[in-house]
Chain A
Amino acid sequence: MNELVRKERFSVVRDTEKRKKKLKTESSLWWMYLPGLVIITVFIIYPFINGIRLSFTNWNGFSQTYDWVGLQQYKRLLADPTTWLVIKNTLLYGIGSTIFQNIIGLLYALLLNQSIKMKALTRTIVYLPVIISPIIMGYIWYFFFAYQGGALNDLLVFLGFEKINALGTPELNSWIIVFVNTYQFVGIAMIIYLAGLQSISKDYYEAAQLDGASALQQFKNITLPLLMPSITINVVLNIIGGLKLFDVIVALTGGGPGDASQSMSTFMYDLYFRRQDAGYAATQGVCMALIILVISLSALMYFKRKETEA
């Protein structure tokens, strides 16, 4: 009896040893991914870690020496009203664009999922801005919103209203940036929702119609739950895109007036290149990475849970 157990144990040991050996003979082929690994280490991982280090210094961006200042930059960041304004803007760009892109994208998708004429043309026109550089898109909308000779003011004057300095008014210009970002990328949301809608079986709707469900009930009880995976993708994608916003802001307002429409990316750029405050810029970078990480992961988790509930 004892011997049998021992034998069995031995054979288990031998088996795992065999497996280990097999694993060893199956080479990892590490040389095939080595170049890629080196590139991301040198250009992403190392700078990222180095950035955390620099955020504890008072480096000015060009001198060879700098002092270790501990948590001073972080204290400064928390006490700086500009930082809070910039974080508020960044959240507005991230969350505001996400809400608009998803609601409008979903409405467009619902419409274009019907059998109507002009479907292909509408889809093309809505999607086209996605492939245009955001900085160029910013300039195109500058022609629209500019105070002098902008299309909006031409229209307002024609209708007998006062001209408005839309891009030069704090608060208002932040919303314009949200609007332009939404306009540019609503096409991606639309396409993802269209794909989601087309994967929902028609049988559900037929059954619901037999039961006498209204269009609104059908949308609430069939379309929305089954669209949950598309919503997750869109929300996470748009949040990350919006929180990183840079080009459109540079083109439309340059972050101004003052710092009124600055986002964390443009503010960081300013701190580093214009204000010679590189240590502080690095601190802003760490803070921005944290914010993006926390918000995108919590959005991901929230919507994933909704997906399984649905």
Chain B
Amino acid sequence: MDYTNKRKKRFFTFLALCITLVHIVPFYILVTTSLKATGDFSSKWVFPKSIHLENFTTAWEQANLGNSFMNTFIITFISAILLIFLGSMAAYPLARRQTKLNKYVYFIFIAVMVIPPLTALVPLYKMVVNMGMMNTYQIAILNNVAAFLPLTIFLYAGFIRSTISKELEEAARIDGAGTLTIFFKIVFPLLKPVTASILIIASVYIWNDYQFAIFFLQDKEMHTLTVTLASFFAENQNNLSLVGAAAIIAMLPMTILFLVLQKYFIAGLSSGSVKG
């Protein structure tokens, strides 16, 4: 019995090793590509004979990656803060005050989740042009906030209903605290677990966003990492080493963050997808 169990365990471990190896292939190809000299046409499976780290500095300069990093960071950071702030504030009355009006409003927020943002592309684009908001941080931020606000409210409202006790708020009200004080001093700090999940979900998606960015940030100075990479790829199809290096640079921050905070990333991303 013990012997077969041991064999079984070994077989399963072997299977896990195979899965790991198969899943690592694209990353391996990416790394070998990024380290090769321009014009080195040896097989992508072969590790480069000489390592060309200068691909990374060249890509950084030629693709203007510093600028796109800054743009991506600003958009992701402000969108996430706004989502946390507007979402938690909106969820509080929707979860706590069951008036008829609030029930309708909550329904609207949830129903909007069904509309895929892309389907409204044509009219949205028209509106943004008319408002003179093309190529601004504001439009990228507002679009991302609008896209994620329903999910944010849904997660916050569920959490407030299920885990935060009303007694604390009532006690504070008797002591004379106003709604805002109660919300920011008592409720908001208790929302920390959801806030962490939303920060992770929203940051990953907004950092990686390509659709909104390609539609609304067409000016080169306003490009985010994904857009920069797409145009860099179009310009350098014959020099994949540079594209590979640029791709590695662009995905490095999220990858490092993920490897360090793995536990939280997996919990956050899966809890968001479970409830969304």
Given contacts A54-B122, A133-B210, A281-B121, contact A48 B115 (CB under 8 A): yes
Stretch at the interface among A8-16, A37-45, A76-84, A219-227: A37-45
**Residue picked from A33, A50, A154, A192, most chain B C-beta under 10 Å:** A33
Q: Are B45 and A116 in contact (CB under 8 A)?
A: no
- A111 contacts B29, CB within 8 Å? no
Please tell me if A85 contacts chain B, counting CB pairs below 8 Å.
Answer: no
A136 near B29: Cβ-Cβ < 8 Å: no
Asked if B64 is at the interface of the complex by the 8 Å CB criterion, the answer is no
Residues of A within 8 A of B33 (CB): 143
Q: Is A161 an interface residue (CB 8 A)?
A: no
Interface size class of A (residues with CB under 8 A): 35 or more
Q: In the complex, what distance in Å separates the CA atom of A265 from the CA atom of B116? A: 10
Residues of A near B262 (CB, < 8 A) are 124
In the complex formed, the residue of B with least CB distance to A248 is B210
**Given the contacts A44-B146, A268-B118, A288-B116, A28 and B270 also touching, CB distance less than 8 Å:** no
Q: CB distance B108 to A37 under 8 Å?
A: yes
- Chain B, interface residues (CB within 8 Å), range: 35 or more
Number of A-B residue pairs having CB atoms within 8 Å of each other in the complex: 269
A36 CA to B209 CA, complexed, in Å = 21
Partner of B118, one of A122, A141, A195, A288: A288
Q: Are B258 and A40 in contact (CB under 8 A)?
A: no
Report which B residues bind A (CB closer than 8 A). Answer: 9, 12-13, 15-17, 19-20, 23-27, 29-30, 33, 41, 43-45, 86-87, 89-90, 92-94, 97, 99-102, 105, 108-109, 112, 114-127, 142-143, 145-147, 149-150, 153, 179, 183, 204, 207-211, 225-226, 229-230, 233, 240, 243-244, 247, 250-251, 254-255, 258-259, 262, 265-266, 269-270, 273-274, 276
New contact pairs (8) apart from A33-B105, A47-B123, CB-CB < 8 Å: A32-B93, A33-B90, A44-B112, A131-B255, A151-B29, A285-B122, A286-B119, A288-B118
B-binding residues in A (CB < 8 A): 23, 26-30, 32-33, 35-37, 39-40, 42-48, 50-51, 53-54, 61, 108, 111-112, 114-119, 121-137, 139-141, 143-144, 146, 149-151, 154-155, 158, 183, 188, 191-192, 195, 233, 237, 240, 243-244, 246-247, 250-251, 265, 268-269, 272, 278, 281-282, 285-286, 288-289, 292-293, 296
